[in-house]
Amino acid sequence: MKPALSQVCSLDSPFEKDIEDYAAGACHAVEIWLGKLERFLETHTVDDVRRLLDEHEMAAPVASFQGGLLASQGDARREHWAHFERRLKLLRSLAVETLVVASDVAGPLAQQDLDRVRASLVQAAGLAREHGLRLALEFQSNATLGNNLQTAAALVAEADSPQLGLCVDAFHYYLGPSKPEDLAYLSRENLFHVQLSDLSGTPRELAADGDRILPGDGDFQFMPILNALRAIDYQGYVSVELMNPQIWRVPARQFGEVAMTALRKLLGQASMGGV
């Protein structure tokens, strides 16, 4: 398991400052936040991004996130899919390997919606294959469909594409209806990415992304997840992903140092068979 930090943890910091400061804090892999990257490219080039990453010896294996693909219709669907294809081309040019796709299916669900989601996943995986990328489906605890690990794993299995796998976000795992036995659905082949954050002092029914805190500072029990990753010999990245406005005020370098320490502590416990 390899540690990384998501740029969304420092949302108020410029793209280039994240890379510089995270590297100074001994972080060597970043989960790109696509909105931030796209803003940077309004005044810079893809070559500038490559040089920035190379200069700071920073890997960028994963990008987050793409929404709107699975159940959208009409003009909204055409817009989301056009944006998706542009992002695939961009990420390929930066040698990013994996794009996180949100299972953001909302509203009442009919059979035709389920069929549309299944077809969309197959179509998205096909486009990803053309561009040499993988897609990691992230179940969302507040979604109508795909709000738990079991269903997300089933959707991935039905698509039957090596380009499509899972992203496990511990926040959605604990807030949604996922159960510990669902971790048995993970395999080295279908797990593409993992995101960690924590929660403290907020009922899960009321928790929102802005309540996320550093993993290990709250109430979540990470060892069941990390032991499951160790059991399948997961060799991919585990990132810290926070959308907390209070944490955004912390300078990126300071945050990077603290976050990497917390993440390495958890991964170290897992490597020693922590319980």
Does 173 or 109 have the greater pLDDT score?
Answer: 173
Query: Three-state SS for 28?
Result: coil
pLDDT at 162 over 90: yes
**What is the token pair recorded at 214?**
């550093």
Average pLDDT of every residue of the chain: 96
State the DSSP H helix or E strand holding residue 2, giving kind and residue range, or none if neither: strand 2-6
pLDDT at 98 over 90: yes
**What is the token pair recorded at 176?**
């949604």
DSSP output for 138-175:
E--TT-SBS-SHHHHHHHHHHHT-TTEEEEEEHHHHHH
Inter-residue contact 67 to 102 (CB < 8 Å): yes
Does 75 or 273 have the greater pLDDT score?
Answer: 75
Residues with Cβ within 8 Å of residue 16, at least 6 apart in sequence: 40, 52
Q: For residue 269, what pLDDT is reported?
A: 81
Q: What is the pLDDT of residues 2-26, one digit of tens each?
A: 999 999 999 999 999 999 999 999 9
Of 232, 218, 229, 224, nearest in space to 262 by CA: 218
Cα(2)–Cα(239) distance, integer angstroms: 8
Give whole-number Cα distances, 128 to 27, 48, 79, 123, in Å.
28, 24, 17, 9
Q: What is the pLDDT of residues 103-139, one digit of tens each?
A: 999 988 889 989 999 999 999 999 999 999 999 999 9
Query: Three-state SS for 186?
Result: coil
Give whole-number Cα distances, 183 to 152, 180, 193, 224, in Å.
12, 6, 14, 8
Confidence of residue 274 (pLDDT cuts 50, 70, 90): low
Confidence of residue 161 (pLDDT cuts 50, 70, 90): very high
Confidence of residue 273 (pLDDT cuts 50, 70, 90): low
Identity (one letter) of the amino acid at 61?
P
Q: Which CATH architecture has domain 2-271?
A: Alpha-Beta Barrel (3.20)
Q: What is the pLDDT of residues 16-63, one digit of tens each?
A: 999 999 999 999 999 999 999 999 999 999 999 999 999 999 999 999
Cα(255)–Cα(6) distance, integer angstroms: 11
Q: For residue 212, what pLDDT is reported?
A: 98
Domain ranges of the chain: 2-271
Inter-residue contact 111 to 145 (CB < 8 Å): no
Q: What is the pLDDT of residues 189-241, one digit of tens each?
A: 999 999 999 999 999 999 999 999 999 999 999 999 999 999 999 999 999 99
Q: What is the mean pLDDT of residues 82-102?
A: 98
Confidence of residue 272 (pLDDT cuts 50, 70, 90): low
